[in-house]
Amino acid sequence: MGGVSCLNCGQAADGRLRAAVWEEEEKGRLSARSAPLCAACHEAFLAGRLTRVEVARRFHAAREYRPAEWIGRVERDSLLDIACLACGALLPAGADPPAALACPRCGAENRFAERHAAGGATRLTASLATAPAEE
């Protein structure tokens, strides 16, 4: 283990606490990825003090990639709320997601948590039961 650092502040992260973001592939297709966060930044994310737009901007900056204007819309993107934090598949979560759900594609157990953002609270995939092999 080791080597995982928080995408937002650079502190050590355990790899389980994550935030989903979009990555633009060739031909403009978006696929879900996730960024590891330390406990403090993850708490700030769930409290709405750290926005998904900020996380996404750092995610892209780390890859020296300049996202197009869609980046400003990720804050309330309900698809990212149900993205598997290990493989990016969209989970079959209903309007009231369970506390934990195994991804049908990769098998990773995703845990949901409540996030308080400007528009109200939403439940989203917030952590993994076990940290994925680091990219």
Site residues (vs Zn ion, CB under 5 A) = 6, 8-9, 11, 38, 41, 84, 86-87, 89, 103, 105-106, 108
CB of 69 vs Zn ion, minimal distance in Å: 27
Cβ proximity of 38 and 46 under 8 Å? no
Query: What's the closest the beta carbon of residue 105 comes to Zn ion, in angstroms?
Result: 5
118 torsion bin: left (phi>0), alpha (psi -120 to 50), beta (else): alpha
CB of 30 to Zn ion, least distance (A): 16
Residue with smaller CB distance to Zn ion, 84 or 126:
84
Provide the 8-state DSSP code for 15. S
Listed residue (22, 32, 68, 75) closest to 51, CA to CA: 75
Question: Looking at beta carbons only, is 87 or 117 nearer to Zn ion?
Answer: 87
How far apart are CB 108 and Zn ion at their closest, in Å?
A: 5
Decide whether 66 or 129 has the Cβ nearer to Zn ion. 129
- Residues 61/55, Cβ–Cβ less than 8 Å: no
Which residues, 6 or more positions from 77, have their beta carbon under 8 angstroms from its beta carbon? 22, 52
Whole-angstrom Cα distance, residue 43 to residue 131? 18
Q: 25 or 69: whose CB is closer to Zn ion?
A: 25
